Structure 1
Amino acid sequence: MRICLVTGGSGFCGFEIVRFLVKKGEKVRVMDIDPLPDNSFYEKVEFVYGDILDKEKVSEACSGVDRIIHTVAKVPISKAGKKFIEVNVEGTRNVLEAALKNKVKKVVHLSTSAVQFTGKNPVDENDEYNPVGPYAESKLKGELVCREYIRKGLDVDIIRPRTVLGPGRMGIFDIFFEWISEGKNIYIIGNGNNKIQFLHSGDLASCCYLSLLKKGSHIFNIGSKNFLTLREDLQSLLDYAKTGSKIISLPTNFTINSLKILDKMRLSPLAPWHYLTFHKDFYFNNENARKILGWKPKLGNKEALKVAYDSYVQMKKQGKKSYGTSHRKKLKQGFLKIVKTIS
């Protein structure tokens, strides 16, 4: 029976992929430095404790593996500095080198839409690179490492998802959902009439699975089934939550400049990727994934937001604490905590 390795399988995206593979009857191995979020899965998967920067441990995890989904990454909110390059570039190289040596049939590399913030919409796979911020720059370099190993004969697919939402999503969205659940106002940069596409974590997992089974090397830009303007999608969630929260527009230039200063002073959890892009259009058309993989997303922005919000509310009622990597951890709100008190 083939073995599928998921690096970072304890993380937000990684564990969603692990659950999907298990449901499909795949034999799954997980490599991570954090424990699995659901203890029952230790009976369903093989767990290898190890750091992606440990070449020997990575090679051990790749031994006997047929296919790999590589999800380990330092994300924007981690503000990881030099670690962005270490993990997102050199860690990716370690996985690909081990895959090549172990004659792995296929690697699926989870990249990010942040490498292609071009201003053109919809963005397709062949559009130019334009990374925003140190996170995106490191992910671009990770993609270039993938291309290097494709030239060496390794089958590698690169998947660039839009912002992923789903059960257990924390990070920036934890702040967002907390404010809504408490009836606080939600602030956006500009008028909110721009179109921003999200992606449900289950749809990401299904695309990764189909990609695993496809021979050759490809790039897939993927996003939600449908979406309206940011204001309309957020208003739909506020109407659903019924807590009295309202959307407040902030002046674009003043807000961006203020957030830049707060970011440099380490007084805000928001990274450049958040405050430099979320007031502009950014979406994909999913055509490449549809044509090559037969993939179609099941959920749109509104549904993905509601699923993620419901999960937050349920976790809050149960008193569950966050765990694991950045997108599953509560963030310190910094200056935003002051804004919250007057909202």
Structure 2
Amino acid sequence: MATRVRPSSKRCAVIGGSGFLGRHLVEKLVDRGYTVSVFDIRQSYELPGVTFHQGDLCDKQALLLAMKDVSLVFHCASPAPASDDRRLFERVNIEGTRTVIQACNEAGVQKLVLTSSASVVFEGTDVKNGGEDLPYAKKPIDYYTQTKIQQEKSRTFLGLSFVSQLVLEAFDEGKGLLTVAIRPHGIFGPRDPQLVPILVDSARKGKMRFIIGDGTNVVDFTYVENVVHGHILAAERLRPGSPICGKPYHITNDEPVRFWDFMSEVLVGLGYAAPRYHLPYAVVYGLALLLWLLALILRPLVSFKPTFTPMRVALAGTHHYYSCERAKRDLGYKPLVSLKEGIARTVQSYPHLRRGA
């Protein structure tokens, strides 16, 4: 009987490796001596020592090619939260994740690290120093959050309550696929295609003059290098018997800041005026909810996307910051880049978005 060759611990696959977080993760893994296979629907860059595989996340055979001789998989593929496309979120975050797990089992992958989100416990009301023991949002206020909850709580991911015969055959230890979820919040940094470009576009259109609420709400923003650091720490500590198996971990900069102070620092750093006029939170949220419902009702007839969704308004006007004490204790996590330094690096990386550029 042929002996099964165990994949090298330094060979890994990054699903969604062409995205914002994925690319930063791939670069850091290469720096740490990993051989990396990237799977994504597109290839957005080239990097020595990295193999790219293009394909559909729901295509198991395509995934298997990317997972050949791989022991570790990072799954950080997800549509942008702002897309508000329910079918796309379901296909990628639920169906795609199910296919990833099936492919991992068939390929003999030992460890799977999921990029989740702290938003899985956020319902649009204040969360202050929230821990991982908070219950999942019962009434998630956007499709991204709804499908992220389903992705994470699925019995095929966290809290594995069953081990299929296929997994038993794949691993000598009989432990099955080891899993852990990383829950970052408010990721930002160089090459971010969402936060800074959208912020600048809004400023150029005169839409960043207003503060939603009284402006005192405190939130977490997390520099992308710190999120990558949390992923790699989790992967390197994920082993049979480890206390991190099947658990979620918040990863933040551990420096909660006023939401509008952060936005103002980025805007001013790029040459734009800081917001200064206040709008009542309840009024703006109610209007956003009304527009969102109207868009939903009219979708079969006409398509339009409101600028402010209920989730965006809630994120801008409520407290939502999270404890990463569990990550400090179990992963040895400590942010590598301070919030101040992260903002400075981010602003410097967008010279083309400066006012007058």
CA positional deviation for 1:148: 5.9
Q: Distance in 2 between matches of 1:94 and 1:25?
A: 28
Contact 1:121 1:281 in 2 (8 A): yes
Matches within 5 A, 1:151-300: 151-152=162-163, 153-180=176-203, 185-214=208-237, 215=239, 216=242, 217=245, 218-263=247-292, 264-265=294-295, 266-300=304-338
The aligned counterpart of 2:300 is none
Matched, 1:129 2:136: yes
Contact 1:160 1:220 in 2 (8 A): yes
5+ residue gaps, structure 1, are: 320-343
Q: Which has the higher contact order (CA 8 A, sep 6+)?
A: 1
CA positional deviation for 1:299: 3.2
Normalised TM-score (structure 2): 0.81
Q: Which has the larger radius of gyration?
A: 2
Contact 1:68 1:106 in 2 (8 A): yes
Change in Cα spacing, 1:184 to 1:299, as seen in structure 2 (3 Å) is farther
CA positional deviation for 1:259: 2.1
The aligned counterpart of 1:56 is 61
Counterpart residue identity of residue 73, structure 2: I
Change in Cα spacing, 1:184 to 1:256, as seen in structure 2 (3 Å) is closer
5+ residue gaps, structure 2, are: 1-7, 164-175, 296-303
Counterpart residue identity of residue 186, structure 2: T
Contact 2:74 2:112 in 1 (8 A): yes
Deviations 1:291-342 (A, max 9, x none): 111111133444433333332334679x9xxxxxxxxxxxxxxxxxxxxxxx
Counterpart residue identity of residue 142, structure 2: G
Normalised TM-score (structure 1): 0.84
Change in Cα spacing, 1:10 to 1:163, as seen in structure 2 (3 Å) is same
Identity within the alignment, %: 26
Contact 2:256 2:321 in 1 (8 A): no
Contact 1:165 1:199 in 2 (8 A): yes
Q: Distance in 2 between matches of 1:256 and 1:226?
A: 26
SS in structure 1 at match of 2:128: coil
Change in Cα spacing, 1:7 to 1:191, as seen in structure 2 (3 Å) is same
CA positional deviation for 1:174: 1.1
Change in Cα spacing, 1:308 to 1:245, as seen in structure 2 (3 Å) is same
The count of residues paired between Structure 1 and Structure 2 equals: 315
One of 92, 111, 122 as aligned partner of 1:87: 92
Counterpart residue identity of residue 227, structure 2: L
Deviations 1:262-294 (A, max 9, x none): 344324244432123321111112111111111
Higher helix share: 1
Deviations 1:81-106 (A, max 9, x none): 22211110110111111112222121
Q: Which moved more, 1:200-209 or 1:186-195?
A: 186-195
Q: Distance in 2 between matches of 1:199 and 1:74?
A: 19
The aligned counterpart of 2:23 is 15
Q: Distance in 2 between matches of 1:300 and 1:150?
A: 39
Change in Cα spacing, 1:22 to 1:315, as seen in structure 2 (3 Å) is farther
Q: Distance in 2 between matches of 1:30 and 1:68?
A: 10
Q: Distance in 2 between matches of 1:208 and 1:230?
A: 25
Contact 2:226 2:337 in 1 (8 A): yes
One of 84, 94, 103 as aligned partner of 2:108: 103
Q: Distance in 1 between matches of 2:214 and 2:41?
A: 41
Contact 1:114 1:273 in 2 (8 A): no
Q: Distance in 2 between matches of 1:148 and 1:85?
A: 21
The aligned counterpart of 1:338 is none
Q: Distance in 1 between matches of 2:86 and 2:273?
A: 38
Q: Which moved more, 1:300-309 or 1:149-158?
A: 300-309
SS in structure 2 at match of 1:276: helix
Q: Distance in 1 between matches of 2:99 and 2:27?
A: 25
Counterpart residue identity of residue 258, structure 1: L
CA positional deviation for 1:151: 4.0
Q: Distance in 1 between matches of 2:201 and 2:341?
A: 18
